[in-house]
Amino acid sequence: MNLAIKVWLNEKEGLKLKLRLERCHIIKRKTEKYRMLEGGVPSVIGERRSSEGNKTS
């Protein structure tokens, strides 16, 4: 395989990965915002509270 093509493919894959990571980060930030709007703490505490609620029901 040509080295230039190899580098280009690596850059292309790296860009895809970067975009995917950015998308995940944006989604994560949005969910944290929604949790804060609901009055929950955007951390483990909020998740623990929801899991406790599932146990009681």
> What are the pLDDT digits (tens) for 2-11?
888 888 888 8
Pair 1, 7: CB distance under 8 Å? no
Residue 7: predicted pLDDT: 86
Per residue in 23-40, is it b (16+ CB within 10 Å) or e — as a string?
eeeeeeeeeeeebeeeee
Kindly report, residue by residue over 1-55, the tens digit of the pLDDT.
688 888 888 888 888 888 888 888 888 888 877 776 766 555 555 455 555 555 5
CA dist 10 and 3 (Å) reads 11
* pLDDT recorded at residue 14: 86
Identify the pLDDT of residue 57: 45
pLDDT number for residue 1 = 64
Q: How many CB atoms lie within 10 A of CB 44?
A: 8
Within 13 Å and on the Cβ side, how many CA atoms surround 15?
6
